[in-house]
């Protein structure tokens, strides 16, 4: 599994800019990013080059940060690639809490980041279904 950084985002302008600026100032690369938004708040989720360093830097700026485990799955980069993966999960009755995508240059695969429901969020569920999970190292994540 891969460690993901989540940041609580209060609804006010400039907040995401300030988070990304802090990461930049600490020399941290953002490899994937997604925002969950509601009327009152948002959650910024990221895969970054150095999760511990990012966590410390943001916590020092009074951000609310947590580190969670997610799965990164290689998906064939062609029409139907994502649909096939999601069908496998659907057939196995596995619920997805949230997902977003990640592109890595120079491979024939695309990647999907999955946070499965709490019951399914274990190490080898996806492997057992024959899906190809990718370790963080391969994506340049520490």
Structure-block tokens of residue 118: 């709490």
Structure-block tokens of residue 44: 């910024």
Structure-block tokens of residue 95: 């619920």
Give the residue, chosen from 2, 6, 131, 141, that forms a contact with another protein under the rule CB under 8 A.
6
Nearest to 113 by CA among 55, 49, 64, 70: 70
CA separation (Å) from 74 to 20, 45, 64, 127?
Answer: 26, 19, 30, 11
Structure-block tokens of residue 135: 């370790």
* Options 32-40, 73-81, 83-91, 130-138: segment touching another protein (CB under 8 A): 32-40
CB of 30 to another protein, least distance (A): 17
* Options 2-10, 73-81, 87-95, 119-127: segment touching another protein (CB under 8 A): 2-10
CB of 76 to another protein, least distance (A): 28
Q: Which is nearer to another protein, 64 or 138 (CB)?
A: 64
64-83 footprint of another protein as x/- string (CB under 8 A): xxx-x---------------
For tokens 């491979």, what's the residue?
Answer: 107
Nearest to 96 by CA among 105, 104, 87: 87
- Which spans of this chain sit near another protein (rule: CB under 8 A)? 6, 8, 10, 36, 38, 40-41, 43, 45, 59, 62-66, 68, 97-98, 115
């Amino acid at each position: 599994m891969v460690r993901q950084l989540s940041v609580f985002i209060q609804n006010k302008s400039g907040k995401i800019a300030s988070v990304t600026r802090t990461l930049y100032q600490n020399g941290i690369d953002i490899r994937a990013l997604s925002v969950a938004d509601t009327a009152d708040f948002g959650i910024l989720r990221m895969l970054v080059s150095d999760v511990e360093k990012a966590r410390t830097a943001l916590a020092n700026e009074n951000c609310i940060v947590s580190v969670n485990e997610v799965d990164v799955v290689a998906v064939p980069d062609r029409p139907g690639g994502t649909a096939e993966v999601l069908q496998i999960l659907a057939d196995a009755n596995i619920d997805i809490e949230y997902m977003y995508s990640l592109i890595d240059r120079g491979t024939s695969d695309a990647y999907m980041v999955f946070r499965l429901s709490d019951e399914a969020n274990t190490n080898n569920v996806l492997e057992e279904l024959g899906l190809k999970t990718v370790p963080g190292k391969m994506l340049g994540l520490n």
